[in-house]
């Protein structure tokens, strides 16, 4: 870990602080929407889907712009700043419409920062440490994702279930994250001859990304249909009888497992076949869906949440590594943008489908549908695996 560049560490801590802020809010938001504002489960799914799709669609433009400008830190800082400035909207929102607007603007900030930040990690990390660098960044990011819900639990107890007070306190780490990227991250000098990608929707630029990259995107799309928003894990926990104050523990457990597994998986992916690790991640997701669908108890939910965290650790950093491996260095921002665009659209579809199935058939219908998509994604990965593994350069580890 000591060989990983300082800038990658700092970017990990930037992500961690923003995740602390976001998860303090998001761990409570589904329950707040249903129990306080009286919205339906499908509405929760729609809000989550729109929010994540917005972030992903925005990434295509910010990623390509970072390639064109040759400056990734500026856009990443802009995205973190926008997200920080929108956090006060959550405690101020009087109804669900305002919360939709707050989530939308917050996710625009995430979209602006996401692709430039990941491309900056790829720029900073030497090729032989790329998997480890993305795994470290993902692990630190995920530390924030369980510290945030832990703080939410403690603050809900301290404030006697006062949702808005917790939302206000979540503003602080968001602005600390902004300060850190502004003053502690140095962007590397780029080599001469860097190509510009002026138009993120240019067909020529899409062709330059290559067939191996687009195979990774195709697998990512189907996989995203299988893993809908973690809001449904929270709702499942509430469904089996967990009190509102303890609901954030779902994200705590999931993200502890996620954080502990992401870095070792990243290191391992620099040494062995990445396809096999990705297939194992899909197997963990299938197990999570089975537990959450067929064991309607706190024990079954806990098992499903642990397996969900393992699947995240085995897939999220690895997908980012595959994108970096298969894209030309001058088009990495665009590559991350396209990947997030198409998986973002799949996220919207996945969350809406999950919410509709929950309202129509209950939790079992939602998670069994997730299982079906997971098996399709696994079959697709195995079907295209040989072609991916035979690609040249760093992608040969796929």
Q: Evaluate if residue 56 carries a pLDDT over 70.
A: no
Q: Is residue 260 part of a domain?
A: yes
Handedness of CA 100, 103, 106, 112 (dihedral sign): negative
Q: Is residue 397 part of a domain?
A: no
Q: Give Rg (Cα) of the chain.
A: 20
Report the mean per-residue pLDDT for the chain. 80
Phi–psi pair at 185, nearest 5 degrees: -110, 125
Lowest-confidence segment of 85-99, 264-278, 306-320 by average pLDDT: 264-278
Residues 6 or more apart in contact with residue 194 via CB below 8 angstroms: 67, 70, 330
* 132-148: average pLDDT: 79
What CATH number does residue 59 fall under?
1.20.1250.20
Q: Is residue 197 part of a domain?
A: no
**CA torsion angle 221 225 231 235 (round to 10):** -170
Q: Evaluate if residue 247 carries a pLDDT over 90.
A: no
* 228-257: average pLDDT: 82
Q: Evaluate if residue 1 carries a pLDDT over 80.
A: no
> Are 185 and 178 contacting, i.e. CB atoms less than 8 angstroms apart?
no
Alpha-carbon distance values, 110 to 12, 19, 81, 104 (Å)? 15, 11, 10, 10
Q: Is residue 291 part of a domain?
A: yes
Number of domains in the chain: 1
Q: Is residue 331 part of a domain?
A: yes
* 353-369: average pLDDT: 88
What is the per-residue pLDDT across 148-193, written as a single tens digit (0 to 9) for each?
888 988 898 898 878 889 999 999 999 999 999 988 877 776 544 4
Q: Evaluate if residue 125 carries a pLDDT over 60.
A: yes
Query: Is pTM beyond 0.75 here?
Result: no
DSSP-derived 3-state class of residue 198: coil
Q: Is residue 214 part of a domain?
A: yes
Q: In which region does residue 161 sit, left (phi positive, over 0), alpha (psi from -120 to 50) or beta (all else)?
A: left
How does residue 25 score in pLDDT terms, banded at 50, 70 and 90?
A: confident
How far apart are the C-alpha atoms of 48 and 34, rounded to whole Å? 13
Q: Is residue 277 part of a domain?
A: yes
Phi–psi pair at 37, nearest 5 degrees: -95, -10
Percent of the chain with pLDDT over 90: 14
Helices and strands (H and E) in the chain: how many: 16, 0
> Are 249 and 120 contacting, i.e. CB atoms less than 8 angstroms apart?
no
DSSP-derived 3-state class of residue 32: helix
Domain that holds residue 120: 7-184+202-390
pLDDT at 80: 92
Q: Evaluate if residue 89 carries a pLDDT over 80.
A: yes
How far apart are the C-alpha atoms of 213 and 325, rounded to whole Å? 8
Q: Is residue 326 part of a domain?
A: yes
pLDDT at 200: 52
């Amino acid at each position: 870990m000591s060989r990983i560049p300082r800038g990658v560490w700092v970017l990990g801590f930037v992500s961690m602080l923003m995740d602390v802020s976001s998860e303090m809010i998001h761990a409570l938001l589904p329950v707040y929407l249903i129990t306080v504002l009286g919205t339906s489960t499908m509405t929760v799914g729609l809000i989550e889907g729109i929010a994540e799709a917005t972030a992903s669609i925005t990434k295509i433009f910010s990623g390509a712009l970072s390639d064109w400008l040759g400056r990734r830190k500026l856009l990443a800082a802009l995205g973190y700043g926008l997200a920080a400035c929108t956090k006060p909207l959550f405690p101020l929102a009087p109804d669900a419409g305002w919360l939709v607007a707050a989530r939308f603007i917050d996710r625009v900030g995430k979209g602006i920062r996401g692709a430039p930040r990941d491309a900056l990690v790829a720029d900073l990390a030497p090729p032989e440490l790329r998997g480890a660098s993305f795994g470290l960044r993902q692990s630190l990011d995920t530390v924030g994702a369980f510290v945030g819900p832990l703080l939410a639990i403690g603050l809900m107890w301290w404030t006697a279930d006062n949702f808005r007070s917790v939302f206000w306190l979540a503003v602080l780490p968001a602005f600390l994250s902004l300060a850190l990227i502004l003053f502690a991250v140095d962007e590397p000098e780029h080599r001469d001859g860097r190509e510009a990608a002026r138009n993120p929707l240019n067909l020529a630029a899409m062709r330059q990304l290559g067939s191996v990259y687009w195979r990774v995107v195709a697998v990512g799309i189907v996989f995203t249909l299988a893993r809908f928003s973690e809001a449904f894990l929270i709702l499942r926990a509430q469904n089996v009888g967990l009190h509102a104050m303890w609901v954030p523990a779902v994200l705590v457990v999931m993200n502890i497992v996620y954080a502990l597994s992401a870095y070792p998986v990243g290191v391992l992916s620099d040494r062995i076949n990445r396809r096999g690790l990705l297939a194992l991640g899909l197997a963990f997701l299938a197990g999570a869906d089975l537990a959450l669908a067929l064991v309607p108890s706190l024990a079954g939910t806990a098992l499903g949440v642990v397996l969900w965290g393992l699947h995240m650790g085995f897939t999220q950093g690895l997908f980012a590594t595959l994108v970096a491996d298969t894209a030309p260095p001058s088009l990495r921002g665009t590559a991350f943008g396209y990947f997030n665009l198409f998986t973002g659209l799949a996220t919207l579809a996945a969350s809406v489908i999950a919410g509709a199935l929950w309202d129509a058939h209950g939790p079992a219908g939602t998670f069994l549908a997730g299982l079906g998509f997971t098996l399709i994604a696994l079959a697709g990965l195995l079907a295209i695996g040989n072609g991916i593994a035979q690609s040249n350069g760093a992608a040969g580890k796929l």
